[in-house]
Structure 1
Amino acid sequence: MNRLLAVALMLVTSVVAGCATHPAPELRPYSVEESRQLALEALSRRGLSFDEYQQQRAALLGQPQKSYSFDRQGEMNAERSVTLHGRPS
């Protein structure tokens, strides 16, 4: 009976010690990459305009800000006649 009690006590001690050594994930500090990812996710949920979003995203990522604008080459004017392959369009 003495051996059974000793084995049970050792088993209970090892289980309790094993449970106590695992740190909970929410208690550890976030890494730099995890913090950046959380900030980007929060930024995408804010409902900003495209320009504001791109400015803040570039600031978070440490990238130079790019200027986004529409080019004038893709515009069509209904008052202007354009000839494509010998036929008016």
Structure 2
Amino acid sequence: MKPLIATFLMLAVSVLAGCASHVSPELRPYTAEESQELALEDLNRRGLSFDEYHARKAELLGQPQKAYSFDKHGEMNAERTVQLHGRPS
């Protein structure tokens, strides 16, 4: 009877030890795509200004920086007329 109890006890201990030692996916190295995606997610959370955000995004993606900026007039009014040279608005 004692060998049967000892066998079940050893089996239970080995099962519990196997469940406790799992391989964590965080321990594996990230691929280049995963690293870039994590960097872009971090960039989205930083709360940067519009120009800073697009400058850093262009750096991360390896693209030439585009000239993103707001116009110098501020917000447009719907009642304001814009005169285009040579064409009626």
Q: TM-score, normalised by structure 1?
A: 0.57
Structure 2 alignment gaps of length 5 or more: 71-79
The root-mean-square deviation of aligned C-alpha atoms, in Å, is: 3.4
Letter in 1 for 2:65: Q
Cα distance in 1 for partners of 2:69, 2:40 equals 23
Q: How big is each residue's C-alpha offset from its partner over 1:11-53, in whole Å with a ceiling of 9 and x where there is no partner? A: 2232133124312344x14503333222212211222222211
* Structure 2 CA distance for partners of 1:63 and 1:78, relative to 1, 3 Å: closer
2:38 match: secondary structure: helix
1:36 paired with 2:36, answer yes
Structure 1 alignment gaps of length 5 or more: 71-76, 84-89
1:64 match: secondary structure: coil
In terms of fraction of residues, the more strand-rich structure is 1
1:78 paired with 2:86, answer no
* Structure 2 CA distance for partners of 1:79 and 1:60, relative to 1, 3 Å: closer
Runs of 4+ in 1 over 6 A off after TM superposition: none
Q: Which residue is equivalent to 1:67?
A: 67
1:53 paired with 2:56, answer no
